Every structure is written in structure tokens, then in C-alpha cells.
Structure 1
């Protein structure tokens, strides 16, 4: 498949990195309300096994705004350019919106994706008109309220009811510092138009699909639908976690990622 031009040159995308650059590459793609800061537990605790690279998506946090709406393919192609810049291929970890990008990346650039870890994600909001409308409405809410108020209202919904206050505060602070217009609006537009249902069976990269048991944003049914449609997958429910399972249950989450990498890449666990 001929790739469309990347939304941004890979070098323009801000990243946080940890680990040996010669180790297998783990590229981390954050959710629609976050940034590379969301992967602090993975940067801190997986760097002994892999080279962890977490991006700020185009238009988020420290990455510049694209000059046009990239569309889902634009985000996927920018991630592909980042993998090439780091010598690829990569194991790609995507949370929520990042998981949708990771799946499209695996479909468009299969030679660059050694495996997938898809966490608390979906097939896109375009699977139902109400979901698409709600996604676009969130972009309108951000534009009207500003990042601080938007994050204060939305952030607590992303973790379980039992999440410690410090985690809730960290999620809200990260969101407020990461989202802005037009970047969030571009991402919401891409999500509202995405429905990966038909292309999932053609994805050949081995996948680990995880979901927090108490995820009320995308939910376990949606993660199970992804896992069931992929050619090769393992599905895991993480108890005691909401939508941000990688932050709320980092030890369990990282243990599953380690096990996955050990199986698919023979990386020492």
C-alpha cells in the first residue's frame, strides 16, 4: 500500500525515551486526552528490557500542531516515520485512541510492527453514530471550556472509583497540560470517522489486548471484540483498573507486557 505523506516529520514529534537504543523498540502511543507522560510507569519499569519511546502525538503537549487535520492515516504514517527513524520494526503499545492508531499502523505498515499491545481501546467511534457524535462533542467542550476545566470534568472518569486521589490528580494534571485546540479536535475528528471492524482480521502482528475490568469509557466488550477479530491475540482483563489500566495497575500491566515480549521476541522477562 502506498503511504500518504506523514502529518509531521518524525523529528518534529516530541518523545520521551528510556532504555538501551540497541534493544528492541517499544513505541507507546497515548490516549486522546493525554501525552507521553501517561507512560511514565512503562518508561521507568520496562527500560531494562526494551528501548521505550513514548510520543506526544501531533498537536499534543510538546509536539507542534499539524497544519491540517491528519486523519487516522496521518497519525499512523507519522508513527511509521518515527519507527523508521529509530531503526524499526517496533512493538507498538497503544492506549485508547493510541490503540486505534496502532491498529491502523499495523494494517498500513505491517513490516514495521513486530507486535501489538492494545490497551483499553476500541475499533473507533465511527462504529455507531451516537459514539461519533459524542466524540465530536468532546472537542467542542474543550474549545468552549479550556483545558483546565475540561480535564477536571473528564479526568476522574478515566480511572476506577477506588483510584487513589494522587492518581486522579496526576491524570487531570497531565490532561490539562497535554490537550489543546486544534490538536484535540483533529484527533476527535479522526476517531469519529474510524471503524476498523473490517480491517482487523487482516492484521497479522501478534497482539496482546488488555482492558481494565472497570473501564467505563471503551469497556471490556469492545476490547474483546478487537481481540476476537485479530488473527493472533491474547486477551487479558485487569481487575481493579479503569480506562487507564497502564497507570492504575502498572505492575500487573507491565508484567503482561513483559510476558508478551518474551513470547513474541524472546526478550528476557
Structure 2
């Protein structure tokens, strides 16, 4: 497959495959808001939440690998793609979780396996906690390369630095420049050029308002505060992840009372880089 010369573009055949096999739907969730999702397959619901620099389309190949056993639904988080932003400037994970519940209610989904990657793990954990937005509706929670966040008191100073650095980079380089600068860290040296293209393309399509809200979530909330969840849980991480390294993810796994599952040879965006391996991990837990 020939690749386009624009480093932020995808081959036309990839875009056509995305739209044909993992089509976009716009779901009204009340109060004039909507959530954009991509969906394919048949079976029990498997709901996938992306990280701060990605979007629903990033789950394409993992979703296609699971379409024979699951109804795979990947959202564009509030403020991403065509999803309406949340009304507050500095939302917490519980605010995203409430929007997620509204989405599942609108789709008529009573129970699901919930998968959160990176910053999506914060929303997933908030939804799955005792008394959370989806408590009692989650068959299994899967956290892949979970981002802990910087909302705990002992991480507040680091959070201020991360917020300033990310927003300064956004102001200086814009969304596309940020994508060029940051996307390389999301995959390992083993990643194919096409996987790298997918990561850059997703990141270059971010909306500034949604990204700013997500930065506030990252810097103002704490994953460990939502753990352990009120559902069976697995925690996984790419062995070559330099964004949320295995040692950090092991802390999250310990807070859940489980062992960390390695995704061998994968970087942070493991489900883009090694979609079949991640699909195998998720397939094992489907009921």
C-alpha cells in the first residue's frame, strides 16, 4: 500500500475501510448534546474509550478482530470529533462517566464490558466504581495503559507542570504541530509505518476545546481514587510503553488487586500497534 506524502494523512483506502466497516453514528443524548460513535459486530456490548490524543477511529482494527463475538462501540469522547463538549471548563472523570451513561441509555445497552485506554481509563474507572454512573451494568472493566492523572495531593505540582507544558505546546504549535511532536511516543520502535500514520492522523484531528477539557481531566483527577471498581477488572500494558510505563501500570493493577497483564513488544497505543493481541486479550473476557 502506498502512503500519502502528507505525514498527517491516511491512504484513501484506509479511510474508505474505516467508513465502510466501522461507520460513524451520531447519537442524541439529551439537552441538545450528541455523542459520535463507531460501531460494528454482533454479540455482547464491548464499549471502548480512547485516550487524550486519539478518537473512536483508532479502534478500527481491534474492533474488526472482535466483530464476530461482540457489538463493539467506540466513542469520540466529549469534545472530540462530532461529540458535544461537556459544559464545564475543568470536568472530572465523573462528568465524562455521566455522558457515557447517557450514551448507553440512548443506545439501549443495559450491560457491557467497558474498556478504557490511557486517559479513557479514568472515565471507565469512575463509571465502574461503587455508586458510579454505570455501577451494576459492567460485566468486566479492562484498563489498558491507564493514565493515573495528577489530581492527588502528592502529584499536584507535577500536574501544574504537565498542564502548562501541554497548553504551551498547543499554543505554540497548534493541534497539527502537537501531533507531529507527540505522536511518536505512542508507539514502539516495532510499529509499522501505517500504525504510526493512524496515530498521527487521529491526533491531528483533535478539537482544541475538547483537548483542553481533557488536559484538565488529566491534571485534575486521580484514577486511584476510583479504585478498586465494583466489577471484575483486568489491567494491561504494553511492555515497551514509555507514556504509562509498566511500573506505573503495576501500581494501578495492585490498587485493583490483580496482576498486570503484559502486551509483549507494544508501546502505549497497543491496540493500534498490535490490534490482534489486544483483541485476544478482550476476547478472553467476553461473556
Question: What is the rounded CA distance, in whole Å, between the counterparts of 1:16 and 1:91 in structure 2?
Answer: 16
In structure 2, the residue corresponding to 1:208 is in which secondary structure? Answer: strand
Question: What is the rounded CA distance, in whole Å, between the counterparts of 1:9 and 1:131 in structure 2?
Answer: 37
Aligned to 2:183: 155
Unaligned runs of 5+ in 2: 1-28
Pick from 151, 157, 160: which aligns with 1:133?
160
CA contact (8 A) 2:175 2:208 kept: no
TM-score (normalizing by structure 1)? 0.87
Structure 2 CA distance for partners of 1:199 and 1:147, relative to 1, 3 Å? closer
Aligned to 1:88: 110
CA contact (8 A) 1:72 1:191 kept: no
Within 5 Å, give how 1:41-52 maps onto structure 2. Answer: 41-52=61-72
How many aligned residue pairs are there?
250
Question: What is the rounded CA distance, in whole Å, between the counterparts of 2:239 and 2:188 in structure 1?
Answer: 9
1:73 equivalent to 2:94? Answer yes
Deviation sequence 1:151-190 (CA, Å, 0-9, x none)? 000001100123222211221111101x122111111101
Pick from 144, 163, 166: which aligns with 2:194?
166
Structure 2 CA distance for partners of 1:112 and 1:48, relative to 1, 3 Å? same
The structural deviation recorded for 1:134 is 4.0
Pick from 242, 248, 255: which aligns with 2:273?
248
1:28 equivalent to 2:56? Answer no
Aligned to 1:188: 215
Unaligned runs of 5+ in 1: 1-7
Aligned to 1:225: 251
Deviation sequence 1:229-252 (CA, Å, 0-9, x none)? 115x45211111110111111111
Question: RMSD of the TM alignment (CA)?
Answer: 1.8
The structural deviation recorded for 1:221 is 1.5
In structure 2, the residue corresponding to 1:27 is in which secondary structure? Answer: strand
Pick from 223, 241, 248: which aligns with 1:215?
241
TM-score (normalizing by structure 2)? 0.81
Moved more, 233-242 or 29-38: 233-242
1:119 equivalent to 2:141? Answer no
Deviation sequence 1:32-90 (CA, Å, 0-9, x none)? 00100110112211111111110001111122333433332111111112122232211
1:102 equivalent to 2:124? Answer yes
Aligned to 1:5: none
Question: What is the rounded CA distance, in whole Å, between the counterparts of 2:259 and 2:242 in structure 1?
Answer: 21
Question: What is the rounded CA distance, in whole Å, between the counterparts of 2:171 and 2:217 in structure 1?
Answer: 17
